[in-house]
Amino acid sequence: MSDIAVDHLDAAPGRRLAFRHRPGRGPTIVFLPGYMSDMEGGKASALDAWAAGAGRAFLRFDYAGCGMSSGAFEAQGLDGWRDDVLAMIDRVAAPGPVVLVGSSMGGWLMLLAALARPERVAGLVGIAAAPDFTRWGFSDADKARLRDEGRIAEPSPYGDQPYVTTRLFWESGERLRLLDGPIDLRCPVRLLHGQADPDVPWRLSLDLMDRLRSADVQALLIKDGDHRLSRDPDIALLVATVNALMERL
């Protein structure tokens, strides 16, 4: 548990977002969780602990419908969660640059947020970043069920709750796809990806690296790494990557 108390931001009507904001030396690091995850996960907590020791500003939060934030999960779309990220950057993070650290779907959101706030985002760190997963992450049969039934629920290997996807979310993701052309971001980007990831193909990070306009992009592949990259050596690599990026900004 963090020593920073949970606070709340009324980002929009019906969107009361829970967050923990640790003041410190900038740029402010903002952690973006994955799909059906929240700010209390292992990677977010480990980065928060490192930030405390390093005197770094750190912000983590729950998207609407997730964790301690208000709203129903199945009423959320990717565009709304992107707007939650922007609200955190605009209204909670200290003035000045931010570095976004995005896990899985959070890696998609960090790209969308950086495109919307290029003057604020000084760097990006993706952990098994999963842009456009509404395109490549579902079979044709899944897409037909989403269109016809409005939702699909599948067993999750990461918890007891089923992995639910709604037509609302899927359609919002299709509207926000990024990999069909160049991605006009010029800030430094670091991409961590496990080559044993069963959920997000590791070659997607290389595809993303190719499409980013930034010349300062590095992909770090972990041969035996899974999707979560939450083992102690994985966490150590994440912390070292964020620290090295912060030191050069």
- The reported pLDDT for the residue numbered 173 is 98
> Which segments within 132-224 are labelled E, that is strand?
151-154, 163-166, 189-194, 217-222
User: Which three-class secondary structure state does DSSP give residue 40?
Assistant: coil
A 10 A CB-CB count for 155 gives: 9
Among 2, 19, 187, which residue's Cα sits nearest to residue 90? 19
Amino acid 57 reads A
Output the pLDDT for position 238. 98
Query: What per-residue confidence (pLDDT) applies to 181?
Result: 97
Catalytic residues: 104, 197, 227
Q: Which of helix, strand or coil describes residue 106?
A: helix
Is the separation of the CB atoms in 46 and 53 below 8 Å? no
CA 204 to chain centre: 15
Domain boundaries, the chain: 7-137+172-248
DSSP state of 5: P
Beta bridge partners of 99: 29, 123
Per-position b or e across 58-95, b if 16+ CB within 10 A of its CB: bbbbbbbbbbbbebebeebbbbbbbbbbbbbbeebbee
Q: Which CATH code is given to the segment(s) 7-137+172-248? A: 3.40.50.1820
Tens digit of each residue's pLDDT, the chain (249 residues): 578 999 999 999 989 999 999 999 999 999 999 999 999 999 999 999 999 999 999 999 999 999 999 999 999 999 999 999 999 999 999 999 999 999 999 999 999 999 999 999 999 999 999 999 999 999 999 999 999 999 999 887 777 788 899 999 999 999 999 999 999 999 999 999 999 999 999 999 999 999 999 999 999 999 999 999 999 999 999 999 999 999 999
φ and ψ at residue 205, rounded to 5 degrees:
-65, -35
Q: Which helix (H) or strand (E) holds 167?
A: helix 167-175
Contacts of 15 (CB under 8 A, 6+ apart): 64, 69, 70, 71, 80, 84, 87
- Residue 161: the pLDDT is 82
